Amino acid sequence: MGFPSVLTMAQRLAAERLAPGSAAIDATAGGGVDTLFLARQTGPRGRVLAFDVQEEALARTRLRLEEARAAGEALAEVTLVPAGHERMEEYVPAELHGRIRAVMFNLGYLPGSDSPVITRPETTLPALEAALRLLAPGGVLTAVLYPGHPGGDEEARAVERWMAELPDAAARTVLYCFPQKEKAPYLVALEKRQNTRPV
């Protein structure tokens, strides 16, 4: 059978907390796989915002959503935001602050692109902080980390440290990795506590 991949595991953690009509964020639209997944899970009454700094990524995501709609799938309303995820609080409507059920990050490069654009700790860490504030109590944040490329290792360690240092009263955190594969992508996730004071 094999263990689920890190991407599958991230989707499972998100799916468990999403219901028809939920609101969710894809913090790194990339090829749009997670955006489509969130739009399916939350359905026609749901709301999804997807962020990316590259037009190519948003175009790929738009195409993926259009193809699914053309095939008759009932998807959430999706807003593609051409801005960095560190600014997500500016773009998420006020009525959804504190009501987001899932935020998914998939860091690193846009696969199959020549572009040097890459996620960076200077913006990734503020984005994680913003995502935690936006989450509903009981909501989940997932981040797939890529230690295998230059800069990716430092970013992965910075994100892991950020997770490890979160106060227990704010969130519970978990790590999913394949310890025999040192440079393989791995997943960190957090669940916001039910009864937290604002963080």
* DSSP tag of 42: H
Rounded Cα gap, residues 114 and 51, in angstroms:
20
- Residue 56 CB, nearest distance to ligand SAH (Å)? 8
For ligand SAH, the closer of residues 11 and 106 by Cβ is 106
Rounded Cα gap, residues 17 and 15, in angstroms:
5
- Residue 67 CB, nearest distance to ligand SAH (Å)? 19
For ligand SAH, the closer of residues 35 and 106 by Cβ is 106
- Residue 19 CB, nearest distance to ligand SAH (Å)? 26
Rounded Cα gap, residues 2 and 190, in angstroms:
24
Q: Which residues here bind ligand SAH, judged by CB under 6 A?
A: 28, 30, 51-54, 57, 84-86, 106, 108-111, 117, 119, 123, 146
For ligand SAH, the closer of residues 25 and 193 by Cβ is 25
- Residue 174 CB, nearest distance to ligand SAH (Å)? 20
For ligand SAH, the closer of residues 110 and 193 by Cβ is 110
* E strand or H helix at 140: strand 135-145
For ligand SAH, the closer of residues 44 and 82 by Cβ is 82
Task: Give exposure, 142-160, as e/b (b: 16+ Cβ within 10 Å).
Answer: bbbbbbeeeebeebbebbb
For ligand SAH, the closer of residues 52 and 160 by Cβ is 52
Which residue has tokens 């960095």? 84
Number of helices followed by number of strands (H, E) in the chain: 6, 7
- Residue 43 CB, nearest distance to ligand SAH (Å)? 25
Instruction: Please give the angle made by the CA atoms of 96, 132 and 139, to the nearest 5 degrees.
Output: 70
Assigned token pair, 100: 């987001």
- Residue 133 CB, nearest distance to ligand SAH (Å)? 17
